[in-house]
Amino acid sequence: MSETILNTNSLQYEENKCTNLNICKKDDGAVEEEQVQIDKKDGTAHSNKRKSKKKRETDTADIVSSSIHQLHSEQDLNRVIKSNKCVIVEFVTSWCGACKSIQDFYNNLSDLHQDSIYSSRVICDKNKHTKKIATSYNIGSYPVFIVFVNETVVNRWDGADRGKLEATFERQGKGSKSKKKRGGKFR
């Protein structure tokens, strides 16, 4: 069974002790937290482990949808835009409340339209490469949605506007669906 360390070296200093909190997420969804306190006077360490079967509450960086592709660099973004007819890119940060509020809605729309629209996400405060993407697209507030069709920006808006997002998925998703035969004629 593998594990993912979510947080290490989260140090808290108090008058006579230093606390280090390590959080590990197991494959089965269980979360294990270990709190180690080191007494500064005598150097002794005290460990306190907690296991939980309940999954830890996630933030923007943790949520993954099978149909949303996370982009990590400008090269990733350029490759995606050139390889797909329609691409919707959501620019977010890990601390943004509005980004979190529209995230499930975006995930659901992406799942519904994954055959016709390539949905992606850039977490702009993740590293210097994602910050560079945000700068190159003049992203100043979050979330921002940019729609590319045939490598051209056709729509862009700031904010968690569910109506715009849903209308965009409906409009762009229709152009990529196959024609249906009705009454002997193609519509």
- Summarised one tens digit per residue, pLDDT across range 3-36 is 444 433 434 444 555 555 455 555 555 556 656 6
**187 assigned to some structural domain:** no
Q: Report the chain's mean pLDDT, rounded to a whole number.
A: 76
Q: Residue 67: its pLDDT value, please? A: 86
**57 assigned to some structural domain:** no
Check whether residue 80 and residue 171 sit in a common domain. yes
Contact 172, 147 (CB under 8 A): yes
**185 assigned to some structural domain:** no
Higher pLDDT, 97 or 51: 97
User: What percent of the chain has pLDDT above 70?
Assistant: 58
**183 assigned to some structural domain:** no
Residues 6+ apart with CB under 8 A from 78: none
Angle at 66 between CA 63 and CA 71, to 5 degrees: 70
Q: Residue 134: its pLDDT value, please? A: 96
Give the range of the structural domain holding residue 149, as residue numbers without chain letter: 68-176
**32 assigned to some structural domain:** yes
| Structural domain count of the chain | 2
Check whether residue 124 and residue 150 sit in a common domain. yes
Check whether residue 41 and residue 90 sit in a common domain. no
**Overall pTM surpassing 0.85 (yes/no):** no
Check whether residue 167 and residue 106 sit in a common domain. yes
Q: In 40-169, which ranges are E strands?
A: 45-52, 68-70, 86-92, 118-123, 144-149, 152-158
**81 assigned to some structural domain:** yes
Q: Look at the alpha carbons of 91, 95, 100, 102 in this order and tell me if their dihedral is positive or negative.
A: negative
Higher pLDDT, 38 or 153: 153
> Shortest CA distance to 113 belongs to which of 171, 181, 62?
171
